[in-house]
């Protein structure tokens, strides 16, 4: 059977989780055998669910690393494997996803393709390069309302922005997904950390 790689990418608040949930919901209605996985580092919500910024959620199995993800995905011949917040798994996710696709699964990889300093965020760019289908979403700029391809960190109360600025790839789990810490920005209003 021919597998397929589908990508949903964009900055924070672009509706990636909503789109993933919509596709999973439809697949379940169609009787497809679906496995939904999230990263256990995503503390935004209930661990056993994917939750959007609007609070909508669907059940998901939290996994801590690529090895556990691969193991779970091999338990059954899933027709569809949906992976939420793929950037948390890092570049090691690439060979595992390719393996699933080669064995005939449709895999949806959803995640951030841009870091909060505006650079490419692996592994999403790699997936985007070789996917059968890519949906690139934008958020709404919180300053002007135009399409936002970036998100940036804003100061956490009690901390100076300076002190709370981690490196681009070291996303602090306690700051994932919170409206209070990141904002969506268009090209004009994006001000990357220095
Ligand atoms: P993502 O998974 O890409 O972070 P979600 O699917 O969790 O996005 O949330 C998308 C929802 O967030 C939108 O439908 C909207 O209601 C809400 N939202 C809050 N702030 C913004 C913003 N600046 N731009 C777009 N949507 C926003």
What separation in Å is there between the alpha carbon of 173 and the centre of ligand 1? 18
d(CA 97, CA 189) in angstroms, rounded, equals 35
15 pocket-lining for ligand 1 (C-beta < 6 Å) = yes
166-191: pLDDT as tens digits: 444 444 444 454 445 899 999 999 99
pTM: 0.88
Given a cut of 50, is residue 85 above it in pLDDT?
A: yes
Long-range contacts of 153-161 (CB under 8 A, 24+ apart): 153/116, 153/181, 153/182, 153/193, 154/180, 154/181, 154/182, 154/183, 156/180, 156/181, 161/193
Determine which one of 18, 71, 85, 132 is catalytic.
85
Tell me the ipTM for this assembly.
0.98
Is 132 among the catalytic positions?
A: no
Considering only CA atoms, which residue is closest to atom 18 of ligand 1? 13
Q: Read off the tokens for 103.
A: 């064995």
104-148: pLDDT as tens digits: 999 999 999 999 999 999 999 999 999 999 999 999 999 999 999
Domain residue limits, the chain: 4-137
What separation in Å is there between the alpha carbon of 131 and the centre of ligand 1? 24
Q: How confident is the model at residue 46 (pLDDT cuts 50, 70, 90)?
A: low
CATH code for residues 4-137: 3.40.50.300
11 pocket-lining for ligand 1 (C-beta < 6 Å) = no
């Amino acid at each position: 059977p021919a597998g397929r790689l589908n990508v949903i990418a964009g900055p924070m608040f672009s509706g990636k989780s909503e789109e993933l949930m919509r596709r999973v919901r439809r697949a379940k209605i169609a009787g497809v055998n679906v496995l939904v996985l999230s990263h256990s580092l995503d503390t935004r919500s209930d661990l056993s669910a994917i939750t959007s910024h609007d609070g909508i959620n669907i059940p998901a199995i939290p996994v801590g690393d690529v090895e556990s993800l691969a193991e779970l995905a091999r338990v059954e011949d899933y027709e569809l494997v949906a992976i939420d917040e793929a950037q948390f798994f890092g570049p090691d996710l690439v060979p595992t996803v390719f393996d699933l696709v080669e064995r005939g699964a449709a895999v949806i990889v959803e995640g951030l393709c841009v870091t909060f300093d505006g650079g490419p965020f692996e592994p999403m760019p790699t997936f985007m390069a070789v996917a059968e289908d890519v949906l690139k979403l934008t958020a709404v700029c919180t300053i002007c309302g135009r399409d936002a391809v970036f998100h940036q960190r804003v100061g956490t109360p009690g901390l100076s922005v300076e002190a709370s600025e981690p490196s681009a790839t070291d996303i602090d789990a306690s700051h994932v997904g919170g409206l209070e810490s990141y904002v969506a920005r268009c090209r004009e209003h994006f001000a990357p950390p220095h």
